[in-house]
Copies of this chain bind each other. A is one copy, B any other.
Amino acid sequence: MRISELSRRSGVPLATIKFYLRERLLHEGRLTSATQARYDESHLARLRLIQALTGPAGLSVAKTRRVLTLIDEPTAPTLDLLGSAHEVVSHPPAEEPPLEQVDAALRRLGWEVSEENQAHRAEVAAAVAAIGVADFALPERAFEGYATAMLEVAAMEIAAMPTESAEAAVRYVVLGTVLVEPLLLALRRLAQQEASKRRFGPPSEAARTPGQHVQP
C-alpha cells in the first residue's frame, strides 16, 4: 500500500508517519522509484505498536526508539534481557539515594541484594526518599506489603515468560514491562475504590457480593 492508505488504515496523520520515518521509529518502505514506496502489514503493526508506546505507555520518542531497537535486534542473552528492558524505561535518580533502609527491608523479605540489582534498588530508594521529602509517612509495614504484592505479580509474569525463542522472550519482557504499567496503576485505583467500599460499607444496596479480602 502507499503512504496515504497506511495513514488512513492506521489513523495516524500522514505528516506524523513521515515524522516517524525520519525519526527511524518506522522502517522505510520498499522504494519503487525515486518518489514512491510501498508499505505493508508490518508497517501497520509497527505503527500500532508506536501508538501504544507513545500514547498509553507514555514513552518519549527517544525511549520508544530504544524499545523498538531492542525488539528488532535481540542481542542480549536471555538473562540480561530484564536489565536492558528496564534500562530503557527507568528514570535513574539524579543523585544517589541512601540504600540502607531499603536494603534492610529487602533482606528481611529474603530478596537478593547484590550489585546486579543496584540500579533497581536505587530507584526504589529514590521513590521512598521522594515520599519522605514530601513529608508523607508510609503506613507501618506498607513497604513490605508493596514488595510482597509486586513479587507476586512479577513471579506470575516471569513464570509466563516464553522461553522457546529469544525474539518472543524479548518482546514479552520489553512490552510487558512498559505496557502493563498503566494497567497496574489503573487497577490500583479501581481496587482502592473497591477496598474502600468493602471497608466503609456500600452506600447503595449492593452488599451481597461475595468479596474476598474483606477487612474484618
Q: Which residues of A contact B (CB under 8 A)?
A: 45, 48-49, 51-53, 55-57, 78-79, 82-83, 86, 89-90, 106, 109-112, 114, 116-117, 120-121, 123-124, 126-128, 130-131, 133-136, 138-140, 142, 145-161, 171-172, 175-177, 179-200, 202-204, 206, 209-213, 215
Contact = CB atoms under 8 A, between A and B. Distances in A.
30 contacts: A48-B135, A51-B133, A78-B200, A79-B203, A82-B193, A90-B186, A111-B194, A112-B202, A117-B193, A124-B187, A126-B186, A127-B182, A130-B179, A139-B160, A146-B183, A146-B187, A147-B191, A148-B212, A149-B150, A149-B152, A150-B184, A150-B191, A151-B195, A152-B152, A152-B213, A154-B195, A159-B195, A181-B188, A184-B184, A184-B185
Contacts of A57: 130
Nearest to A130: B56
Contacts of A109: 212
Within the oligomer, what is the number of copies of this chain?
Answer: 2
A204 B125 CA distance: 24
Contacts of A212: 109-110, 148, 151
B183 A112 contact: no
B146 A114 contact: no
A13 B138 CA distance: 29
A43 to B, nearest CB: 13
A158 B172 CA distance: 33
A52 B194 contact: no
Contacts of A192: 82, 86, 154, 157-158, 177
